Amino acid sequence: MNSAETPKISIGLPVFNGQQYLEEAVSSIVAQTYSNFELIIADNCSTDASLAIAKKWQKIDQRIKVIESPTNLGAAPNFNRAFAAARGEFFKWATCDDRIEPDFLQACIDRMESAPDTVLVYSDAMKIDGEGNALRLIYDSKMNLRTDSPDPLVRFRDLILCDHSCIAVFGLIRSDALRKTSLIGSYVASDRVLLARLGLLGPFSRIDQPLIRHREHSGRSTRSIPRLKDRLAWFDTSLPSARVFPNWRLLKEYASTITTSDLSRWQTTRCFVHLLRWIRYGGWKKLLDDLR
């Protein structure tokens, strides 16, 4: 594919100071057996060699485009501007520290095109350590998430009540469906809300093979910033310093997802019943922790 052609798939790779694994991440994308894609690397004003690595790859492969930022915007705006630059019918977010297997895109596009009502295709994932050694399958593989159900209420229920890893957000998504969402929000657990919104739009499909190598290392945001209240600035650097109630915000966004979706009155009521179950089965403790 030359740069003038419209790609079938767009891949957005946001990065900030990810030089340690960026080369490996880009290599795994370039090596895909499915070739009709573009890779958009969104550098978030890195202070290490990330931008230089990205520009080197841009010279090597004409499918790669690098977009820069003069300031660090935070993770959420950087994720979203990668999608804003996308041209493909399908979109995938990639990370600067994970790898994908060579047949990841082919497997996803085959599954997507065989089921036109599917909005998202994702695969199992293998956790790896900093050196790339396999550790274990991600725990979602053992969960019976019914995100493939034809019933949006069932999909919504499982996406908010089951403690899944959100690995599906790194699957292949229909761009038209993604445009109907608020993308990655500038708040903690916004990926969970995004998946709930996509689940109301259509079914997901899971490939039961570990085609993603999900890296566990000390630099991951969930490890380097363990407290939810401290993680807000990582999501968006423009947000003012203030009291943070991350679980109350999550509750609000779930409610907003229900009210802004194209649901019947009965479906809306049932979704709020599921949200009450979220509060009853553990959510109330998290809400109370925010107040404490």
Q: Are 206 and 127 in contact (CB under 8 A)?
A: no
| Residue 142 DSSP one-character state | G
The answer to whether residue 209 sits within a structural domain is yes
Instruction: Quick: pLDDT tens for 141-183.
Output: 788 899 999 999 999 999 999 999 999 999 999 999 999 999 9
Tokens at 25, concatenated: 């991440």
The answer to whether residue 218 sits within a structural domain is yes
Q: Is the model's pLDDT at 3 over the cut of 60?
A: no
Return the residue matching tokens 């573009």: 38
Q: Is the model's pLDDT at 218 over the cut of 80?
A: no
How far, in Å, are 41, 123, 133 from residue 212 at the CA level? 19, 7, 13
pTM for the predicted model, two decimal places: 0.93
Between CA 194 and CA 83 the distance in angstroms is 14
Give the number of other CB atoms < 10 A from CB of residue 210.
18
Question: In which band, very low, low, confident or very high, does the pLDDT at 1 lie, cut at 50, 70 and 90?
Answer: low
What pLDDT was estimated at residue 82?
98
What pLDDT was estimated at residue 141?
78
Sign of the dihedral through C-alpha 280, 282, 284, 287? negative
Average pLDDT over residues 22-43: 98
Q: Is the model's pLDDT at 232 over the cut of 70?
A: no
CATH of the domain at 41: 3.90.550.10
Instruction: Quick: pLDDT tens for 220-230.
Output: 666 556 666 66
Q: Are 19 and 50 in contact (CB under 8 A)?
A: yes
Q: Are 243 and 180 in contact (CB under 8 A)?
A: no
| Residue 86 DSSP one-character state | -
Q: Quick one: what percent of the chain has pLDDT higher than 70?
A: 91
What pLDDT was estimated at residue 120?
98
Between CA 102 and CA 112 the distance in angstroms is 17
Question: In which band, very low, low, confident or very high, does the pLDDT at 244 lie, cut at 50, 70 and 90?
Answer: confident
The answer to whether residue 253 sits within a structural domain is no
The answer to whether residue 251 sits within a structural domain is no
The answer to whether residue 244 sits within a structural domain is no
Between CA 78 and CA 9 the distance in angstroms is 19
Average pLDDT over residues 180-208: 96
Q: Is the model's pLDDT at 31 over the cut of 80?
A: yes
Q: Are 64 and 94 in contact (CB under 8 A)?
A: no
The answer to whether residue 280 sits within a structural domain is no
The answer to whether residue 27 sits within a structural domain is yes
The answer to whether residue 17 sits within a structural domain is yes
Number of domains in the chain: 1
Instruction: Quick: pLDDT tens for 59-86.
Output: 999 999 999 999 999 999 999 999 999 9
Average pLDDT over residues 241-252: 85
Residue-number span of the structural domain to which 117 is assigned: 9-239
Identity of the residue numbered 25: A
